[in-house]
Amino acid sequence: MRSTRLLAVGLALVIVASGCASGPSLKDAAAELQKDTQRLETDDVFKNPLMNLRIVQRPDTDLPCGEDKVKRVLRATADEERIDESLDSRLDKAQRVMENTLSRILGYKVEYDISQVDDPEGRFIYGSKEVGVVVNVYVAPEAPTWRLHAQTACLPR
């Protein structure tokens, strides 16, 4: 009987502890976004000075987003040298480069959107990480080629 009670109490503690830690934490999400910044800056493609990578906003400041919650934001731009090729080919290539960078280098789960194929206005890329970080990239027909915006979810401090 006593062992059954101890087992029940232990099981309840495990359930409560796992419920408290079930969502992403600001600390983990912010650390992941910091790593993304470093990975982007050291990536073979984007560290090339010709890509003109510019970190517009570093994810080192808490930004309020209501109800005593905050988020962290990374904004960056990069540009690709224009070569003599069609707009569609250039956008396709730039989209593939960023999708590969997001998924292989930065570890995002990228959502592939077939409806954007051949869109001359540009392409949008969306990705996410389980730690509570999302990324949106606009692949533009004009400079800068890539406009990246990644942020954590709104989380308690």
Query: Per-residue pLDDT tens for 90-126?
Result: 999 999 999 999 999 999 999 988 888 888 999 999 9
Residue that wins the pLDDT comparison between 127 and 112: 127
Residue that wins the pLDDT comparison between 12 and 61: 61
State if pTM tops 0.85. no
| pLDDT for 73 | 98
Alpha helices in the chain, H assignment, sequence order: 2-20, 26-42, 87-100
Query: DSSP string covering 51-78, please?
Result: G--EEEE-S-S-EE-STTEEE-EEEEEE
Q: Retrieve residue 56's tokens.
A: 């517009």
Query: Per-residue pLDDT tens for 22-72?
Result: 689 999 999 999 999 999 999 999 999 999 999 999 999 999 998 899 999
- In this structure, which amino acid lies at residue 44? D
pLDDT tier at 84 (50, 70, 90 boundaries)? confident
Query: Per-residue pLDDT tens for 61-70?
Result: 999 998 899 9
Q: How far apart are CA 125 and CA 142, in angstroms?
A: 16
Is the pLDDT score of 5 beyond 80? no
Residue that wins the pLDDT comparison between 20 and 143: 143
Q: How far apart are CA 116 and CA 53, in angstroms?
A: 25
8 Å CB contact between 86 and 125:
no
| pLDDT for 14 | 37
